[in-house]
Amino acid sequence: MSFSSVLAILVCVAVSAEVLDVANASDSSSETAGLELRTNTVDRVDELESTTASRGRGGFESGRREEKDMCVSLDHIRQQQRLESDPEIYFKSNNSCNVTIRFQCQDPVGFSLVGVDSVTCDCSSGLGVWTPSLDPFPTCTGCAKSEAHGYKLPHTALVFPNHSCSFLNCRCDTTVKYRCGAGLTIAGNDTSICSCDTGKGRWLNRPACRGCKKIEQEEVVDTRLFAYPPPPVCSGDHCQCAANVTIRCDSKSKKLSGGRWAQCLCSTDPFDVFWQYENEQEGRCILDDSKTPLLDKHDSQMAANTTDIVLGIVLSLVGLVACAILGLISYKRFFSSNAPSMPTSLLVIY
């Protein structure tokens, strides 16, 4: 074998060995890459499972987030609690670590902040957590002025304190004072308080203004006269509880039958107001039989006197006419018998 042939064989062996090393290295790299890919996939699945479990345990509701350097959005927490958007509450939208968010009401005079007034995003454990807890989420609430009147409060004046009531609303724990108008009496306590113990404002122990409506006289023949007390006991329409009214008749031919007075009574059970008459008999005006004969005799006497007067006047007129006629006849006869006779010649010429 020549030297050149040996040299060619050695070169081929060297090249084959190098190619084999490169192939082995490539296979090893592929296996390593596949292992890393499988490892990353398993880690990601574990992370997703951990995140899902955390959400299932109420992680969002407690203000946690499975990411670093931030907390759960405040709007997201409010949505998780299914709270409606509250236009009265104000806060900055920022969920970065170590940031402090303060809550306040747009109308601090007429609304009260219910819940925590501030929270901080704490990331010391590696996960952002709002502290203190936001369960429940803060809200602004109060009581509407219009709801303080109620359906049993006609003719009522309310005194709202300026320091805890705005134009339309009052803050929690605000006390309002009630005053009834003329002819009405307040039933129960004269104050009511705005309670927010249920999360929404409502007026507690609203009183009522009550009174008896004045007695109606429906029939024209009802001739009763009622003497009502002057204001403020009685107004044009109502009288206060315990008010007394006297009753009488306005005709000489009628008398009062039944109660001579009535009192306004206000009951609490059931809730009612009514007039209670003396001896529980309503006073009525009836015909007075004892006065009717005297009245008829008087009327008959007056009629007889009137007839006599008319007859006397007629007879007087007839007498005057007769005298006038007789006087005229006598006058004519007197002048006819005493008249001088005229000469014949004058009568002929005439």
What does the mean pLDDT of the chain come to? 75
Residue 199: pLDDT band (50, 70, 90) is confident
- pLDDT 10s digits, 219-242: 777 888 999 999 999 998 999 999
Give the model's pLDDT for residue 328: 81
Question: Whole-angstrom Cα distance, residue 101 to residue 121?
Answer: 8
Average pLDDT over residues 265-293: 82
Give the model's pLDDT for residue 274: 92
Cα→Cα distances 155→90, 185, 230, 291, 311, Å: 38, 11, 18, 46, 67
- pLDDT 10s digits, 47-90: 434 433 333 333 344 444 445 568 999 888 888 887 666 778 88
Q: Among 7-21, 178-192, 223-237, which stretch is predicted with the lowest mean pLDDT?
A: 7-21
Residue 146: pLDDT band (50, 70, 90) is confident
Contact assessment for residue 171 and residue 194, using Cβ atoms and an 8 Å cutoff: yes
Give the model's pLDDT for residue 22: 40
Give the model's pLDDT for residue 299: 57
Q: Among 73-82, 176-185, 308-317, 335-344, which stretch is predicted with the lowest mean pLDDT?
A: 335-344
Q: What is the pTM of this model?
A: 0.53
- pLDDT 10s digits, 79-95: 888 766 677 888 888 88
